[in-house]
Amino acid sequence: MNKQRVLFLCTHNSARSQMAEGLLRSLAGDRFDVASAGTEATRVHPLAIRAMADVGIDLSRHTSKSVETLLDQPWDHVITVCDSANERCPIFPKPTHRLHWSFPDPSQARGTTGDRLNVFRRVRDEIAARLEAWLETMAAATRGGGSTVEVVRLAEKFGKFSDAWSPRIVGEVNAMHVKVVKLRGEFVWHHHDREDELFFVVHGRLRMQLRDGDREVGPGELIIVPHGVEHCPRALSDEVHVLLLEPAGTLNTGNVQNERTVAELERI
């Protein structure tokens, strides 16, 4: 049996990615080769080791690694588990499926050692639940012959939510997410360091504000904003329905973190 290769990334390869590596190896080591790394290497946090020991998983021999040492290896799935690593994730030269799962940083916990350990345990359990759901999704796809082919009805998808500026995932194309979002009013000026974005207007009119001048986009029209270009979408209609196509893991507010940042996207 050929195992799929999974790499978990966070900033320091100290806690979240280490726990994810240990958990997936415990849950499905017969199906996956698993590793973890960071955008910079530090150490494995002692409280991560203790939290995992509570569930019978030994991280005491794990070491912190830099992702730069693993770039040339083939990875079927690269999963970032913190927002900073997602924004700073390097380009992998070989084809890979990118996912972003946002978990709070347990190393930022304050209080007694017991208080901090409980935070590590809570994040451990959140990661475990996310892994179990992902494994079930993977198993369902395998039972269905490895893929599912469905018609996506956009009107139906837009009818499932009412809030603005909070994208939902409705499909995947290679390492890209297909998303739907409702826009009302004005967003925030931002840019994306590595990701290009495609906006296809389904309903209403959109003004894409750019530093070199605005562009207006109507129903049946699309605009592509290259990475690095600062932009600010603004709805010209009371409500605009937009289909987005962008790399998996793209944060909606890019280089800006504020109350409109949505790190964990719902699938509908």
Query: Residue 21 carries which side chain, given as an amino acid letter?
Result: E
C-beta neighbour count of 84 within 10 angstroms: 16
Query: How far, rounded to the nearest angstrom, does the alpha carbon of residue 217 sit from its chain's CA centroid?
Result: 27
10 catalytic per annotation = yes
Active-site entry in 6, 10, 131, 245: 10
Least Cα distance to 207 among 198, 215, 195 occurs for 215
Core vs surface per residue 117-127: b (16+ CB within 10 A) or e: bbbbbebbebb
89 catalytic per annotation = yes
Q: Token digits for 113?
A: 């050692």
Q: What are phi and psi of 66, to 5 degrees?
A: -90, 140
Sign of CA pseudo-dihedral 51, 52, 58, 64: negative
Least Cα distance to 90 among 44, 37, 130 occurs for 37
Active-site entry in 7, 49, 89, 217: 89
Least Cα distance to 100 among 262, 256, 225 occurs for 262
Active-site entry in 6, 9, 35, 82: 82
Least Cα distance to 2 among 133, 144, 142 occurs for 142
Catalytically active residues, by annotation:
10, 82, 89
